[in-house]
Chains A and B, each alone.
Chain A
Amino acid sequence: MAYEPLSGADLHLIHDQTLKILADTGAVVEGEEAREILQSAGCRAEGQRLLFPRVLVENYLSSPQPVTIYGVDDSIVLPLTEAPHSYAHNFGSVSVLLDSRTNQVREATKDDLIKFIQISDSLSNLDMVVPSLRPTDLPEEIASLAMTAYALQYTVKPVDIGTASDPWEIRYLIRLAAAVRGSMEKLVEKPMGTLSISPISPLNFPADITGAIIESARSGLPVTMLPCPTRGLTSPVTLAGGLVQQNAEQLAFIVLARLVNRHTPLVYTCRLAAANMRSGCVSGRDPDIGYSGACAAQIARSYGLPSGVYGLDTGSAVIDIQAGYERALNCLFPVLAGATFVSGMGSLNAGLLASAEQLVIDDEIYGMAFHRKLGTEVSEEAIGAEVIDAVMKGGSFLAQEHTRDYMRCNELYRGGLGNEAPYEEWRARGSRTVHQEALDKIEQILSEHPGRTVADSVSREIELILKEASSEKTI
């Protein structure tokens, strides 16, 4: 039974006002093909804006296509529609990271990216790998493609195929993913992730973006709709207003994508954030981040769509107690609300910084939040009335088979990081912090990780694709 912050009446009004905005105000839509597709379907033009009739939107909201993604190792299956529980993934993308050994913020390299992916591959609560770091030591024109290229080669888990801002990027991202899967057909049958595209808030779909939407819808691959409105700056300051505008941006996206391909699998996201009203910068120090995610998860579910929300976020620029409590609070709301994906692993400072240590600590936070993701066994056997009886008549719980057996079945939380020993013992062991433990865990992971997880032939093909992309861009 999920946490539902919005009432039935709230949902109804949100949906109704969304349709009203799309019908009366519309969205800026550029790109000849997109405008033609939408206008042929009944949208009316008002300058750069297209107005979406209610009937059109309602029609294309019905019967959503179920979404499933698979690992690079395709025996890993992640059903996104009616998922059995929430999944977690890392954030992306930035080109600076906090190197805690030196306490310096520095530019990310290809080496840092690969390590980040290897760590992500090894963390037990991270379900999909997003290549969080944009390497600054690679040619700029292919840095985005390279992120996906390396993610595909160093993990067996599902991989975010990439965020693209034009059709060219979409085509190359698809080619990279197809190279790993073996063919385009196999990729569409078992996609290892989704393609993400962001319109510009408020309600603006430039030509490259509509081109990207059309290209990805035609491919048959799942698409993540990724608007990023900021309350007070690019959306109404109210939470309800922000949710509605974000909803309108998603629904306009849905209509275009499904007009191109009725069966496009789609993921509904929430990246709604608020601005600091003094600086105009997005704030990470904000419980509404998680709360918005919970609301959006509920809205997405009402449309039969899987959701991707935040998640782990903080304003803190270092690994400290502020980062701890803000991240924990912000992740709990959407997890309780049953969001499909919760994001943010590895981020600091409102997603402006990356940190490998924070990534490892985040795995622990999600581990705690997800501890009972599959529910709790409440059965006569689990309750063990006869065990209580036996102990009362002269036994001990420690010596019961019931204790021994259930101890290993997720009844006791067995986290990896952090202290649970009494003070003196903790001191005797060196007074270590969770931060220090995270650093050690990273060293261990990297020494044990098998390295590249794909065949040499696949890596060679990927290199060729990147070379081709680079030469196309530098012409």
Chain B
Amino acid sequence: MEIFQKISQAVLEGKREETLALVGDGIRQGIDPFELITRGLTPGLDQVGQKFEEGEYYLPDMMLAAEAMNGAIDFLDPHLTESKSEGREKAVRVVIGTVKGDMHSIGKDIVIMMMKASGMEIYDLGVDVPSTEFIRAVEENDARIVGISALMTTTIQEQKKIIDLLVEKNLRDKVKVIVGGAPLSEEWARKVGADAYAADAISGINKMKELLQLT
């Protein structure tokens, strides 16, 4: 149907208002909201991902597309039938934050945008987050992934602290831990006991999918 193509195109072009208007139209026309997502929004985002891989799209293109996508999904959520929204309830839960003493948020925010657009459920702890907060959030939300962001050589030690705490509280086996930030390395990830490391948002998303075998 033409409307699905138009929706994909609006997402591809990062046009939030237009995407919202189109899905609104779709609802009014009686189209199944689940189909609007799977045949309209998702193919749009897939194309965005492809253009990024090919080097035609960059982060701002991704962000705007993700914003259009997320806006439409927020609008459609209440319209989904019970059975279909169960599918969204089974979404992977991710706890993510930037460690204590560190105010950097951009990488984390980009990853969050894209995780949301991929259907994950995100618990964003913000910045300057004490290690105990990470543990509490993992316990409370039954998270499957913990993303720990640190961008300064002076704050990366917190990543080890958090992982040690997870071990102490018998939570380590229940989650996949990914550490993020430019000063890190594979070696560092091994040293602190993480499952994976990513220097930037795009590799972060890919590594998470790998960890969960969702690719």
Contact = CB atoms under 8 A, between A and B. Distances in A.
A234 interface: yes
B106 A277 contact: no
Nearest to B107: A280
Contacts of A200: 103
B141 interface: no
Interface string A113-153: 00000000000000000000010000010011000000000
Interface stretch (B7-15, B77-85, B171-179, B197-205): B197-205
A101 interface: no
Given A94-B153, A233-B106, A279 B60 contact: no
Query: What secondary structure prevails in chain A residues at the interface with B?
Result: loop
A95 B153 contact: yes
A232 interface: yes
B157 A140 contact: yes
Given A232-B60, A234-B106, A278 B157 contact: no
A281 interface: yes
Contact of A279 (B153, B157, B199): B199
Nearest to A105: B185
Contacts of A280: 59, 106-107, 110, 200-201
A188 interface: no
B157 A352 contact: no
A241 interface: no
A64 interface: no
Q: Residue among A232, A233, A275, A279 with the most chain B CB within 10 A?
A: A279
B183 interface: yes
A281 B182 contact: yes
B153 A281 contact: no
A279 B202 contact: yes
Interface string B87-122: 000000000000000010011001000000000000
Interface size of A as a range? 10 to 19
Contacts of A275: 59
Interface in A50-95: 94-95
A275 B110 CA distance: 14
B127 to A, nearest CB: 10
18 contacts: A134-B153, A140-B154, A143-B154, A144-B154, A200-B103, A234-B106, A277-B59, A278-B58, A279-B199, A279-B200, A279-B202, A280-B59, A280-B106, A280-B107, A280-B200, A281-B199, A352-B182, A352-B183
A277 B58 contact: yes
Most interface-central of B59, B106, B202 (chain A CB within 10 A) = B59
A232 B60 CA distance: 9
Contacts of B55: 278
Interface in A334-380: 352
A206 interface: yes
B61 to A, nearest CB: 9
A74 B183 CA distance: 38
Contacts of B58: 277-278
Contacts of B199: 279, 281
Residue of A94, A134, A143, A233 with highest tally of chain B CB at under 10 A: A233
Given A278-B202, A279-B199, A281-B182, A206 B110 contact: no
Nearest to A200: B103
Nearest to B104: A200
Contacts of A279: 199-202
Contacts of A96: 153
